[in-house]
Amino acid sequence: MDEQTEAIDLMRSITSKLIRNQANTMQNLNLNQQQGRTLQYIGLHEGLIQKDLADAFLLRGATISSMLQGLEQKGYIERRVPSDNERQKQIFLSERGSKVLADVNQVFIDSQKKLKQTINDKEYQELIRLLRAVNQNM
């Protein structure tokens, strides 16, 4: 590993492994990793609009729109037009989406547990502190 890019290479490797492991498990739920993360976010912020999702995930509106269409076709979400603003549809989990959300959450909990098996609590807190600092500076 090149010393000049070691941190970036390690972050890329860790991210790729996390996404691959999560994606393999999510396949059983008929979802990809990003769809699972999106369902989780919608579950925490029911009634949000598409722009909120695009901002939260740092993605273009067209990318979010395509993902939402897929989730809607699978029956995991519903889009509703509020009576006070007919231009923007609010996004909610459907009954099916609410049922699968516990399984989706477990995938991410399992990833977190695997990460925490490697380091002790003090190291974990330091890792979080450092990642927040790096994230804020990006």
Please answer whether residues 93 and 43 qualify as being in contact, where contact means their C-beta atoms are separated by less than 8 angstroms: yes
**Domain spans of the chain?**
3-137
Q: What is the pLDDT of residue 83?
A: 77
Fold annotation for 3-137: Arc Repressor Mutant, subunit A (1.10.10)
Q: Would you tell me how many other CB atoms lie within 10 Å of the CB of residue 9?
A: 12
Q: What is the pLDDT of residue 115?
A: 87
Q: Which of 10, 75, 63, 74 is nearest to 34 (CA)?
A: 63
Q: What is the pLDDT of residue 70?
A: 93
Record the pTM. Answer: 0.81
Give yes or no for residue 47 having a pLDDT over 70: yes
Instruction: Give the pLDDT band of residue 99 (cuts 50, 70, 90).
Output: very high
The span from the CA of 48 to the CA of 27, in Å, is 26
